[in-house]
Structure 1
Amino acid sequence: MEWQNRNILIIGMARSGISSAKLCSRLGAKVKIQDMKKREELIPFMEEEINLLESMGIELILGEDPEPIIESQDLIVLSPGVPTDLEFLQKAKQMNIPVWSEIELGYVLCPCPIIAITGTNGKTTTTTLVGEIMKAYHPDTYVVGNIGTPFTDKVEQMKQQDFVVAEISSFQLETIHTFKPKVSAILNITPDHLNRHKTFENYVSAKERIFENQDSDDFCVLNEEDDICRKMKGKMCAQIIPFSRKKELDEGVFVKDDEIYVKWNKINTGICKISDLQILGDHNVENALAATAITICMGVPVEIIRNILIGFKGVEHRIEYVDTIDGVQYYNDSKATNVDAAIIGIKAMKRPIVLIGGGMDKGADFTEWIDVFPNKVKYLILIGETSDKIIQTAHEKGFFNIKKASSINEAVILAKEIAVSGDCVLLSPACASWDMFKSYEERGEMFKQAVYALKG
């Protein structure tokens, strides 16, 4: 694509939108960036960014609908938080104006092979683990995407011999066009983001887009134990590399005699014992299996994979050990932003749990979450807008040990009063954070600070 003097409109002033705007401007395009927040709403948080964008000649359209300028644009780049069914975007499609995700923009400019990882749960841990393995194999490996660093932030630094490891969300996949990773991975699929996608079928369709442009020279890593993932096999042209925690496979990556084992492409060997892993829980065994499959596809030697798997200590905000106070262990699982992720957190704990949950309502049903409480959760403390909905479901299921808190600090103080030596306090919300916090990271940080404050 010719970039010089092209009219490009960026929708959304979050990290990826700002990064896209700067990149397009550096390429010589005429860039506008739009956000429905007004300037006075944004200034307290991002005055420096606003000044930088304007100094680059980027026009800011704040607090206004972009519909009047749509027809003059050559390309629209959409931030992942912006729904695709907005009226002005429908108008753009009718006028054949391309609407790209920031991931598509990064891909079009990327000179090197891409590993793309999606799924409902485990994306960040697996992406981080794959990134560590690939960096040990080739130091110039870039870890980008939904994990926090925009693809467009790093693409100008990339060289042909480098590698990209990208965490990709369903929101980002909705507006890809030519995006074609060398290795794609779908870790699992369970209902999530139904407030955005409307139906589970739409959500699955968005996830499937990760492999739609792949061919027989590419690879797709799939969870053999996930019913939805298995059904995808007939829809792809890529070579399929399955992984399984529960059964031995004729070909793929699996657990055999308590060991991660590879049987694929002339490789037939154990990698490491499950007991050698430092990350807790069955879900993390699956993440390690997926990471092994992905990096084997990329030609990484078994010894490098083994060393990184054994040394990997996990990801911040995902079943992260915080401290032990008066015999009570505290864990930060703020990244459990949906029911399935929170169930995983509960199952990973070996002690009676005082659980802190709740947050923004994404339309989830909390029945399955509460179904795993017996013999695991002794008390539930709730924050956020889903509190009453969760209480109703819990009462229907016969669970009544519940208190509400107005803040994360109050929740931690209540948890300390309830927990006794030998228990654990687990923040695993089963909900998004945006009703009370800027992000799940902020929620996790505030939880940790509240825990440290208990020491006085």
Structure 2
Amino acid sequence: MEIMGKNVLVVGNARSGIGAAKLAHQKGATVCIYDGKPYEAWQEEAKQTINELKSQGIMYTLGEMPDVKAFDLVVMSPGISPEIEVVQLAKQLGKKITGEFEFASWYCKAPIIAITGTNGKTTTTTLVGEIMKKYNPSTYVVGNIGRAFSEEVLQIPENGIVVAEVSSFQLETADTFHPFISALLNITPDHLNRHHTMENYCACKYNIFKNQPEEGYSLLNTKDHYYEEAKKQVKARCMSFSLQEIPDCGAYVQADTLYENVHGTAHAICKIEDLHIKGTHNVENALAAIAMAAAFGVPGNLIREVLTTFKGVEHRTEYVLTKRGVDFFNDSKATNTDAAIAGLVGLSSLNKPIRLIAGGMDKQTSFKDWIKHFNGLVEKVYIIGETKQQIVKECLEEGFTQVATFETLEDAIKAAYNESKANECILLSPACASWDMFESYEKRGELFKETVMQLEG
């Protein structure tokens, strides 16, 4: 869609919305940012940004409904639900509606490697990004990780590479988005407060394959429950990764060694023991990264070099420090139960009792599968956030009684530390989103680390 001279409404005044507004402005549109939060309610830093954008010619409507009839295009930030009033009104009026990520992709000339999945996508995206940067310094890592795609897209050269972490929220509005390589790592129940049903959630994830060229590549996880259904959606060349079997095309494990056979010949990449990122889930993440890099033509020795030096991702089972013989780990990125299970299983190799800090925003999912992993691993659970009563209830139903609730993260940390003994772990692994109490999982993880640093001992 050509937007020169058109009126564009951007919904959402967070980072992605601001990026989309700047992009639309640069492409010659008349732009207005809408947010339901009135100007007075924003913090000083945000007010400065609002005033700066106004001085550049970007308009604002804050705290009251805009005149939707006046706009040709509506661009939604990924955190904005399509069910809110302004978006529903735009639909009724027949307005073109898109998401920030899809909007940015209209202006991208470089090939895109896009990664989605309920779990593992941040680690995998970071790992692929590091490999591709080694291969081509003009690699840009964007999307649900790091910078918004719209902030970067106009400076990405045609001979560059885009590595994008893409969430279901971003894929929900995908229309023309066409990555050269796509990966669907796994699907488990998540974000049902937004998507309502697993069918809707899966449909959003499958959008990653919708417009891929036949000469591209799509990567799937053979052990995923939705593997067969996802495979039906693939239009490009299909790859897979597996811990248990050898795929016709993809990456796999044999005799504790990671291999790829993307182009018809098997090549050993490295031993499992050579990886710094531990746990079965991280072996899978490494296999996915190997397959995508090999599909792009990256030499095996370069893939090996990055894999064997990669130390992991901040906020994902991140070791913080040891105090009074107690190890602290920050797994704030575990925003659903499957990610939290992976964190617990990953730490089980330490053979240390775990004091677990959990809870957060209610995404309308059950916690019982996660709680089933507590016995023999978790000494006690310290719960915060909207979900605390539900977690307590389900813990008791599963026969796990060592559970307590707290009003703040700081209170939970201090209680866990006061009750801890030497040779134990304190793990923040919420199994919930952060938005009931924090701006993001990063802010939650940062507060955890700051509080831990200040503990006496």
Q: Is the 8 A contact 1:33 1:58 kept in 2?
A: yes
Partner of 1:26: 26
Question: Secondary structure at the residue paired with 1:109?
Answer: coil
What are the Cα deviations for residues 394-432 of structure 1, in whole angstroms up to 9, with x where unaligned?
A: 011111111222222211111112221221111000011
Which amino acid in 2 is paired with 1:381?
Answer: Y
Q: Does 1:165 align with 2:166?
A: no
Partner of 1:113: 111
Partner of 1:17: 17
- TM-score normalised by L of structure 1: 0.97
Change (3 A) 1:415 1:51: same
**Cα RMSD for the two superposed structures:** 1.2
Question: Secondary structure at the residue paired with 1:210?
Answer: coil
Q: Is the 8 A contact 1:127 1:166 kept in 2?
A: yes
What are the Cα deviations for residues 268-314 of structure 1, in whole angstroms up to 9, with x where unaligned?
A: 11100011000121111111011111111111111110000000000
Q: Does 1:447 align with 2:448?
A: yes
Partner of 1:379: 380
Shift of 1:94: 4.2
Q: Which moved more, 1:133-142 or 1:293-302?
A: 293-302
Question: Secondary structure at the residue paired with 2:106?
Answer: helix
Question: Secondary structure at the residue paired with 2:322?
Answer: strand
What are the Cα deviations for residues 366-389 of structure 1, in whole angstroms up to 9, with x where unaligned?
A: 111100111111111111121111
Question: Secondary structure at the residue paired with 2:261?
Answer: strand
Shift of 1:43: 4.4
Taking the TM superposition and a 5 Å limit, the aligned residue runs for 1:26-45 are 26-45=26-45
Distance in 1 separating the partners of 2:373 and 2:39: 46
The structure 2 residue matched to 1:292, chosen from 290, 298, 317, is: 290
Which amino acid in 2 is paired with 1:454?
Answer: L
Which amino acid in 1 is paired with 2:187?
Answer: I
Distance in 2 separating the partners of 1:250 and 1:180: 24
Partner of 1:48: 48
Partner of 2:327: 329
Q: Which moved more, 1:50-59 or 1:259-268?
A: 259-268
Question: Secondary structure at the residue paired with 1:267?
Answer: coil
The structure 2 residue matched to 1:101, chosen from 99, 102, 107, is: 99
Question: Secondary structure at the residue paired with 2:269?
Answer: strand
Partner of 1:180: 178
Distance in 2 separating the partners of 1:43 and 1:357: 28
Distance in 2 separating the partners of 1:86 and 1:452: 41
Shift of 1:362: 1.0
Shift of 1:256: 0.6
Partner of 1:143: 141
Shift of 1:235: 2.0
Distance in 2 separating the partners of 1:264 and 1:80: 33
Question: Secondary structure at the residue paired with 1:222?
Answer: strand
Q: Is the 8 A contact 1:222 1:230 kept in 2?
A: no
Q: Does 1:403 align with 2:401?
A: no
Which amino acid in 2 is paired with 1:354?
Answer: R
Q: Is the 8 A contact 1:354 1:418 kept in 2?
A: no
Distance in 2 separating the partners of 1:452 and 1:88: 44
Q: Which moved more, 1:83-92 or 1:240-249?
A: 83-92
Partner of 1:438: 439
Q: Is the 8 A contact 1:43 1:50 kept in 2?
A: no
What are the Cα deviations for residues 76-105 of structure 1, in whole angstroms up to 9, with x where unaligned?
A: 110111111234423433443211111111
Which amino acid in 1 is paired with 2:222?
Answer: E
Distance in 2 separating the partners of 1:14 and 1:103: 14
What are the Cα deviations for residues 339-389 of structure 1, in whole angstroms up to 9, with x where unaligned?
A: 111011111112211100011111120111100111111111111121111
Distance in 2 separating the partners of 1:205 and 1:315: 28
Q: Which moved more, 1:258-267 or 1:269-278?
A: 258-267
Shift of 1:49: 0.8
Q: Is the 8 A contact 1:223 1:230 kept in 2?
A: no
Taking the TM superposition and a 5 Å limit, the aligned residue runs for 1:165-244 are 165-244=163-242
Q: Is the 8 A contact 1:260 1:289 kept in 2?
A: yes
Q: Is the 8 A contact 1:25 1:56 kept in 2?
A: no
Distance in 2 separating the partners of 1:425 and 1:302: 38
What are the Cα deviations for residues 245-277 of structure 1, in whole angstroms up to 9, with x where unaligned?
A: 222334320011101111221331110001100
- TM-score normalised by L of structure 2: 0.97
Distance in 1 separating the partners of 2:193 and 2:219: 28
Partner of 1:389: 390
Percent identity reads 50
Q: Which moved more, 1:93-102 or 1:402-411?
A: 93-102
Aligned residues: 454
Which amino acid in 2 is paired with 1:306?
Answer: R
Partner of 2:128: 130
Partner of 2:418: 417
Shift of 1:5: 1.5
Q: Does 1:356 align with 2:354?
A: no
Distance in 2 separating the partners of 1:190 and 1:119: 8
Distance in 2 separating the partners of 1:89 and 1:406: 35
Distance in 2 separating the partners of 1:26 and 1:400: 57
Question: Secondary structure at the residue paired with 1:115?
Answer: strand
Shift of 1:230: 2.9
Q: Is the 8 A contact 2:367 2:394 kept in 1?
A: yes
Partner of 1:258: 256
Question: Secondary structure at the residue paired with 1:49?
Answer: helix
Question: Secondary structure at the residue paired with 1:8?
Answer: strand
Distance in 1 separating the partners of 2:418 and 2:228: 46
Distance in 2 separating the partners of 1:399 and 1:347: 18
Question: Secondary structure at the residue paired with 2:101?
Answer: helix
Q: Is the 8 A contact 1:20 1:152 kept in 2?
A: yes
Q: Which moved more, 1:115-124 or 1:404-413?
A: 404-413
Which amino acid in 2 is paired with 1:59?
Answer: M
Q: Is the 8 A contact 1:186 1:229 kept in 2?
A: no
Q: Is the 8 A contact 1:104 1:176 kept in 2?
A: yes
What are the Cα deviations for residues 120-140 of structure 1, in whole angstroms up to 9, with x where unaligned?
A: 011111110000000000001
Which amino acid in 1 is paired with 2:419?
Answer: I
